[in-house]
Amino acid sequence: MSIQEQYGPIADLRLAREKLALGALARRYFAHDFEGRTHARNVARLAVRLGRAFSLPRHDLIAIAVGATLHDIGKLTVPAAVLETPRMLTSAEWAVVRTHPARGDVLVSPLIRHPIVRSAIRWHHERIDGRGYPDRLSGPEIPLPARIVAVADAYEALVAARPYSAPRSAAAALAELVECAGSQFDAECVRRLVAIDRSTSGGEADPSARSRRATRRAPTTGVRSTSRTSRAWSASSFGCGP
């Protein structure tokens, strides 16, 4: 009997159990953060499109999709009252929110070892200039998949509706990302996102529009609308400068 024949069923059973546990964890988070599911789905779709723009292999794209879907899983540890607040967060609340990437990495660590998935969860709020969190990585220290998810996350947060402001148009969101390219965001990721926008057929301005046509749109802006927001603080005031 080969090693695979002897231990394969055990490994398959362990993998199945890990997938079930991970699915249960994700469902807990999406129940905790009502809008997290929609945001996660949109970020994953856009991140995969960006990954394709870098000609990444299929297995890396799958890992990026998983990491992008779970990138905010650490918010399971953030009180729902903070996630659902209809105002800008206080300094104390913001300090709690900023713990979610590291806490998310801890939550999934018993279930996921894939470096791309883990990097998307832990490092999607790192900045190219080294002023991000939780580990203050900079430039090429931040893995490309995490840089891709960071751009997709920010774009999707910018075009989301907020209680105190209308969602930005696709053009305005892209302009803000371009302004922050090289300081907060990877400039090449932003450049390729803009290229996706320019190459989108049918005249659509939103680079993620074709992958989420079923999502309800705001009638005056053509971008999706959400009923309430846990994204209220996500992309507000990037602070691209020094």
| CATH for 168 | 1.10.3210.10
Domain total in the chain: 1
pLDDT digits (tens, 9 = 90+) for 49-102: 999 999 999 999 999 999 999 999 999 999 988 888 878 889 999 999 999 999
Domain that holds residue 188: 3-212
Q: Is residue 233 part of a domain?
A: no
Tokens of 87: 């105002």
Q: Is residue 241 part of a domain?
A: no
Q: Is residue 48 part of a domain?
A: yes
Per-residue pLDDT, averaged over 165-189, amounts to 94
Higher pLDDT: 212 or 22? It is 22
Is residue 75 annotated as part of the catalytic site, yes or no?
A: yes
Q: Is residue 39 part of a domain?
A: yes
pLDDT digits (tens, 9 = 90+) for 103-148: 999 999 998 889 999 999 999 999 999 999 999 999 999 999 999 9
Q: Is residue 136 part of a domain?
A: yes
Catalytic residue among 49, 75, 118, 125: 75
The structure's pTM equals: 0.80
Taken in order 26, 32, 33, 34, is the CA torsion positive or negative?
positive
Q: Is residue 225 part of a domain?
A: no
Q: Is residue 223 part of a domain?
A: no
Q: Is residue 238 part of a domain?
A: no
